[in-house]
Amino acid sequence: MNLKRAMQFLSIFALMVWGGVFVYFYLTPAEDGTGPLIQKYVNANKNFDLWVLIAGMGLFVLAIFNVITFKQKSGICNHDHSHGDECDHDHDHQDHHDDHSDDDHVHTEACDHGHDHDHDHSDGHDHGEEHNHDHEQTTAGLAFSILILVVPVLVAANYSQGKFSPDYFRKLTQIESKMRAMEIEKNGGIVVQQTTMAEVKAAEEKAAKTADTPPDPSNEATTDVASFTMEDLKKMVPQNDAGSFMLEVPEIYYTAGDQQLMKVLEGVPVEFTAQVMNETVNNEAGNRLRAFRLLVECCAADARPISMSLEFSEKPPEFEEMGWFKMTGKLHYAKENDEWVPMLRVMEFNQTAEQIEMLY
Amino acid sequence: MPPNELNSFTDFCYLFLSIVLEGAPFIFFGTLVSGIIDAYLPPGLIDKWLPKNKWLAVIMSALLGAIFPVCECAIVPVIRRLIKKGLPISCAITYMLAAPIINPITIISTMNAFNDSAGKSELLSAMTKDSSQALFVTSSRLLIAFIVTVGVGFVVMKIRTSSILRPSLISEKEKSDHEHDHSHDDAGEKPDKLVQAMRTALRDFVETAMYFTIGVAITALFKAYVTDSMIIAFNQSEYIGVNLMMILAFVLSLCSTSDAFIAANFPVPLSAKLAFLVFGPMMDVKLVFMYLSVFKKKFVLSLGIGLFIAIGALCYVWSDYKPEVKKAGAFPGAALIEDSPTIQQG
3-state secondary structure of A194: strand
> pLDDT averaged over chain B?
77
- Residues B289-331 have pLDDT tens digits of 889 989 999 999 999 999 999 999 999 888 777 654 433 333 3
Residue B145: name the closest of B338, B336, B316, B280 by CA.
B280
User: Is B155's pLDDT higher than 80?
Assistant: yes
Q: How far apart, in whole angstroms, are the C-alpha atoms of residue A92 and residue A277?
A: 70
Given phi > 0 = left and psi -120 to 50 = alpha, else beta, which region is B86?
left
User: Is B127's pLDDT higher than 80?
Assistant: no
The three state secondary structure string of chain B is CCCCCCCHHHHHHHHHHHHHHHHHHHHHHHHHHHHHHHHHCCCCHHHHHCCCCHHHHHHHHHHHHHCCCCCHHHHHHHHHHHHHCCCCHHHHHHHHHHCCCCCHHHHHHHHHHHCCCCCCCHHHHCCCCCCHHHHHHHHHHHHHHHHHHHHHHHHHHCCCHHHCECHHHHHHHHHHHHCCCCCCCCCCCCCCHHHHHHHHHHHHHHHHHHHHHHHHHHHHHHHHHCCCHHHHHCCCCHHHHHHHHHHHHHHHCCCCCCHHHHHHCCCCCHHHHHHHHHHCCCCCHHHHHHHCCCECHHHHHHHHHHHHHHHHHHHHHHHHHCCCCCCCCCCHHHHHHCCCCCCCCC
**Out of A76, A163, A254, closest to residue B14 by CB:** A163
Share of chain B above pLDDT 90, in %: 26
> pLDDT averaged over chain A?
76
**Out of B22, B231, B332, closest to residue A299 by CB:** B22
Q: How far apart, in whole angstroms, are the C-alpha atoms of residue A286 and residue A284?
A: 5
- Residues B8-43 have pLDDT tens digits of 899 999 999 998 998 888 889 888 888 888 888 877
Name the pLDDT band for A25 (thresholds 50, 70, 90): very high
Q: How far apart, in whole angstroms, are the C-alpha atoms of residue B259 and residue B277?
A: 7
Q: What is the pLDDT of residue A122?
A: 37
CA dist B133 → A91, A189, B257 (Å): 56, 28, 18
CA neighbours within 13 Å on the CB side: how many for B240?
A: 9
- Chain centroid to Cα B290, Å, comes to 11
Model ipTM over 0.85: no
Q: What is the pLDDT of residue B59?
A: 94
Whether pTM > 0.80 for this model: the answer is no
Of the residues A24, A31, A41, A49, the best mutation for testing chain B's interface (the one with the most B CB atoms within 10 Å of its CB) is: A41
Q: How far apart, in whole angstroms, are the C-alpha atoms of residue B130 and residue B220?
A: 36
Residues of A in contact with B22 (CB under 8 A): 41-42, 48, 298-299, 301
Mean pLDDT of B85-105: 90
Mean pLDDT of B257-264: 73
Record: contact A162-B232, CB cut-off 8 A: no
Share of chain A above pLDDT 70, in %: 73
Record: contact B2-A158, CB cut-off 8 A: yes
Of the residues A45, A59, A236, the best mutation for testing chain B's interface (the one with the most B CB atoms within 10 Å of its CB) is: A59
Number of helices (H) and strands (E) in chain A: give both, helices first.
9, 8
Residue B111 near residue B134, CB atoms below 8 Å: yes
Name the pLDDT band for A106 (thresholds 50, 70, 90): very low
Record: contact B20-A153, CB cut-off 8 A: yes
User: Is B243's pLDDT higher than 70?
Assistant: yes
Q: What is the pLDDT of residue A101?
A: 36
Q: What is the pLDDT of residue B225?
A: 80
Record: contact A300-B14, CB cut-off 8 A: yes
User: Is B282's pLDDT higher than 80?
Assistant: yes
Among A237-246, B126-135, B257-266, B319-328, name the one with the lowest average pLDDT: B319-328
* B283 or A280, greater pLDDT: B283
Residues of A in contact with B166 (CB under 8 A): 136
Q: What is the pLDDT of residue B134?
A: 81
B119 touches chain A (CB under 8 A): yes
Residues of B in contact with A175 (CB under 8 A): 228, 231
